[in-house]
Amino acid sequence: MIKKLSLSVLRIRDFRLLLFTRMFVMMALQSQAVIVGWQVYSLTKDPFLLGLTGLTEALPAIACAFFAGHIVDIGQPRRIYTLCIATLALNTLALLLVAGHMPSLAKDTLLIFIFTGIFISGLARSFIMPSGFSLLSRIVVRTEIPAAMAWLSSGFQIAAIGGPAVAGLIYGGYGAGGAWMLPAFLMSAALLTVSFLRTTHIRNAEKREPTLQSIKAGWRFILKTPVLLSVMALDMFAVLFGGAVAMLPAYADQVLHVGSEGLGALRAAPALGAVVTALMLALRPMKQVSALRLLWVVAGFGLCMIGFGLSTLFWLSMLFLIASGAFDSVSMLIRGTLMQLLTPDDMRGRISAINSMFIISSNEIGAFESGSAARLLGLVPSVVLGGIATLLVVATTALISPRLRKTVVSAQDG
């Protein structure tokens, strides 16, 4: 029987607006990633440059994250969130005009424009993550956090399915010009829905701390909360070594021979497994969040990456990616719920900004690591060894962090 709690959060108007806004933004970013990946690879045929796209987005996002959390905590998260989406919308429109081949540009000039757009996207992402994280606790009560996180995860995964799949199909049929229209439209839709979002501004402190002191306070809280630190580090190193998403354009071309349409399907496959899992957890939220379960699902993710790396069949590769998405969905939900439940209201921006540094390091710098490893070791060995490294990260974390293995948190607790 489906619990009332799992559906009651959807009756909150502002939560629905936040859910749809995040879906539009994520779908736009995911489709943009497919377009950028295929376009850069088509222009250069170089896996290293695929990895460099991740590094280009990661560097500004990590650098600005030091200050983004402080700004969110002393400012108005909804206003910052809206400004970030507006910046992303303008950036995507510029990429539509330039990378969509509306002006005829030389290859090197076009690559410079694409990488500039990626850099700007990284700047906006450094603020959008902590501001979005802070908004949730102002919209739903603590007891509804697990259900809210599960619905947000479901929306994210639906976007991750739709964005890459549709972008790949459009790219294959109409080229870059047609494909870039998709993220531009989706970002515009996100800007529209976020404009209707209303939350109460909470002044977290009468006396504001100096910027550097505020940033240090956030890091001190993380270092004094070993569970949060272990969870962030586990995710960062597991995905840093085990992620194979950045190499999918090369896999689609060199190993599976499926073109841009197949690339869209490969990018969407992890989200297909994730969305089914996330919807199940949204309808029946976890009463308690166990960190031990997190270790098991991250290990499952590593095994899936090994299987994907060894596969030469399209359908089998899809199955491994679908399974990896299911494991990653549970991992993301556990991490997100633990962060929401263990973080004080007056530090949500800073803690989320620090977490974003770990996430960006794992995803974008992981993409650079994957590209570098593919150039040095070869495409298939780099993915397989990355999956093995993920298993080693899980084993090491379990050994050095016994407190993490025993951590169980309930949303019903104060």
pLDDT at res. 345: 74
Distance of alpha carbon 4 from the chain centroid: 29
- Which residues of the chain carry a pLDDT beneath 50? 1-5, 205-207
Which residues are registered as beta bridge partners of 10?
A: none
Instruction: Report the candidate in 191, 229, 238 with the shortest Cα–Cα distance to residue 17.
Output: 191
Q: 251: which DSSP letter?
A: I
**Residue tagged 């102002």 (tokens):** 138
pLDDT at res. 316: 93
Question: At 289, which helix (H) or strand (E)?
Answer: strand 288-290
**Residue tagged 């509306």 (tokens):** 102
Q: In the numeric block, which tokens belong to residue 107? A: 């290859």
The rounded distance, in Å, linking the Cα atoms of 56 and 235 is 21
pLDDT at res. 5: 43
Tell me the domains of the chain and their CATH numbers: 4-197+211-410 (1.20.1250.20)
Burial of 12 per CB tally in 10 Å (0-12, 13-18, 19+): middle
**Residue tagged 């150039």 (tokens):** 375
Sign of the torsion angle spanned by Cα atoms 276, 282, 288, 290: positive
Q: Which residues contact 286 (CB under 8 A, 6 or more apart)?
A: 146, 333, 337
pLDDT at res. 120: 92
Backbone angles phi, psi at 408, to 5 degrees: -135, 125
Angle between helices 107-139 and 77-99 (to 10 degrees): 160
Q: Residue 146: what residue type?
A: P
pLDDT at res. 3: 44
pLDDT at res. 4: 43
The rounded distance, in Å, linking the Cα atoms of 17 and 23 is 10
pLDDT at res. 206: 47
Helices (H) and strands (E) in the chain, counts: 16, 2
Q: Is there a contact between 327 and 301 (Cβ–Cβ < 8 Å)?
A: yes
The CA distances from residue 265 to 31, 109, 120, 319, in Å, are 12, 30, 27, 11
pLDDT at res. 210: 66
| Pairing relationship of beta strands 408-410 and 288-290 according to DSSP bridges | antiparallel
Q: Is there a contact between 401 and 226 (Cβ–Cβ < 8 Å)?
A: yes
The rounded distance, in Å, linking the Cα atoms of 186 and 33 is 14
Specify the pTM.
Answer: 0.70
pLDDT at res. 185: 94
How many CA atoms within 13 Å lie on the side-chain side of 342? 22
pLDDT at res. 27: 92
The rounded distance, in Å, linking the Cα atoms of 296 and 238 is 12
